[in-house]
């Protein structure tokens, strides 16, 4: 099967762990082993990944330099794509036979300069701060901040991806059997001027939405989003919490209010869009379950003829971080 796999933050760094090279390399090596197993099982993977913690760290490092050398978010996005792509490619090479065809493409994603998302930032990036520090940063840099778990995080605009600039070349690579790592961090957001010329914009595109676009354009049979929970839950963190085994896109969309903006919301939206537009299947689940997700045994499957939501029984393991950790983005200060 041709499978587009979108790796969430957990694949790159476990939640709550500091962003040290050691922690990141350990997490990425683990992810590479799961991906390599799927390749050994005969699947052709196209890999994409998030960049929230990394792009936020780069933004902080950029602040340490002289004012005139501050780097805009599109450049930081490109840096994070190169950084993570390099590490993933290296780990995958080490997990595959010597000379395996793996390549990273630093990718640009077309967005609408008038996307309403520019007026309402929702995408958390960088570290989690204590409230006093968050307030200081908010005042100093005019950064909108949002409550996330026990602390606060900077949020940036996250416009909808409209197209993948390099898609024709990426498809050529895929069609010759190369394992392509691309559209990392949702791709570098660029807009087209009236004259058609491209320019970078200050934003971070949601990697799950770009992943769905990539899966559609790469003609994937399956689109999988790997994260740090075993799947999508109804009444997440509540008394009636239940793990969804499978569903058609319509019933998932009917329950959209239960899937949080900025985390599970875009995953469900991306999965349903891919399934409705292509008639293929999508899945959301834990990195460690990749083989079972492909086999349809674990995770949450969104199926073109899936009908109503069905649940896992007996319950799979509880979400590792249990409980709702996000607060809706209207809690800005």
Residues designated as active site: 9-10, 123, 207, 267
Give residue number: closest CB to ligand ADP.
8
174 or 230: CB nearest ligand ADP: 230
Q: At its nearest, how many Å lie between ligand ADP and the CB of residue 237?
A: 8
Omega before 314 cis (within 30°)?
yes
9 or 187: CB nearest ligand ADP: 9
Among residues 289, 270, 259, the alpha carbon closest in space to that of 214 is found at 270
33 or 321: CB nearest ligand ADP: 321
H-type helices in the chain, by residue range?
Answer: 9-12, 21-40, 52-63, 73-95, 131-141, 167-175, 207-217, 249-254, 264-278, 290-294
Q: At its nearest, how many Å lie between ligand ADP and the CB of residue 49?
A: 9
Residues 6+ apart with CB under 8 A from 119: 157
Distance CA 44, CA 2 (A): 5
Reading the block at residue 157, the tokens are: 């605009």
Q: Residue 66 in contact with residue 49, Cβ under 8 Å?
A: no
Where on the chain is the footprint of ligand ADP (CB under 6 A)?
A: 8-10, 50, 227-229, 232-233, 236, 258-260, 263-264, 319, 321, 325
Residues 6+ apart with CB under 8 A from 27: 10, 11, 12, 13, 14
Q: At its nearest, how many Å lie between ligand ADP and the CB of residue 8?
A: 2
8 or 329: CB nearest ligand ADP: 8
Q: At its nearest, how many Å lie between ligand ADP and the CB of residue 37?
A: 20
């Amino acid at each position: 099967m041709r499978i587009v796999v979108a790796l969430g933050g957990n694949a790159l760094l476990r939640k709550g762990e500091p962003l040290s090279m050691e922690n990141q390399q350990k997490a990425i090596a683990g992810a590479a082993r799961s991906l390599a197993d799927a390749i050994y099982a005969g699947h052709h993977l196209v890999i994409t990944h998030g960049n929230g913690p990394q792009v936020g760290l780069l933004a902080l490092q950029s602040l340490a330099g002289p004012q005139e050398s501050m780097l805009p978010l599109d450049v930081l996005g490109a840096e994070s794509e190169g950084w993570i792509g390099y590490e993933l490619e290296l780990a995958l090479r080490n997990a595959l036979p010597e000379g395996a065809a793996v390549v990273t493409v630093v990718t640009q994603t077309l967005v609408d300069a008038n996307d309403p998302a520019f007026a309402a930032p929702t995408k958390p990036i960088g570290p989690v701060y204590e409230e006093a520090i968050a307030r200081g940063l908010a005042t100093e840099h005019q950064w909108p901040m949002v409550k996330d778990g026990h602390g606060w995080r900077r949020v940036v605009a996250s416009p909808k991806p409209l197209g993948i600039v390099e898609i024709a070349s990426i498809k050529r690579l895929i069609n010759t059997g190369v394992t392509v790592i691309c559209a990392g961090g949702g791709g570098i957001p660029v807009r087209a001027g009236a004259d058609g010329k491209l320019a970078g914009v200050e934003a971070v595109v949601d990697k799950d939405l770009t992943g769905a676009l990539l899966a559609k354009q790469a003609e994937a049979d399956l689109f999988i989003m790997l994260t740090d929970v075993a799947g999508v839950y109804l009444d997440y963190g509540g008394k009636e919490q239940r793990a969804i085994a499978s569903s058609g896109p319509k019933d998932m969309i009917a329950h959209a209010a239960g899937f949080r903006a900025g985390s599970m919301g875009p995953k469900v939206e991306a999965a349903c869009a891919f399934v409705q537009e292509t008639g293929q299947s999508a899945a959301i689940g834990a990195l460690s379950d990749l083989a079972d997700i492909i086999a349809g045994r674990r995770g949450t499957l969104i199926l073109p003829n899936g009908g109503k939501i069905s649940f896992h029984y007996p319950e799979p393991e509880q979400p590792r971080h249990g409980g709702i950790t996000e607060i809706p983005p209207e809690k800005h200060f």
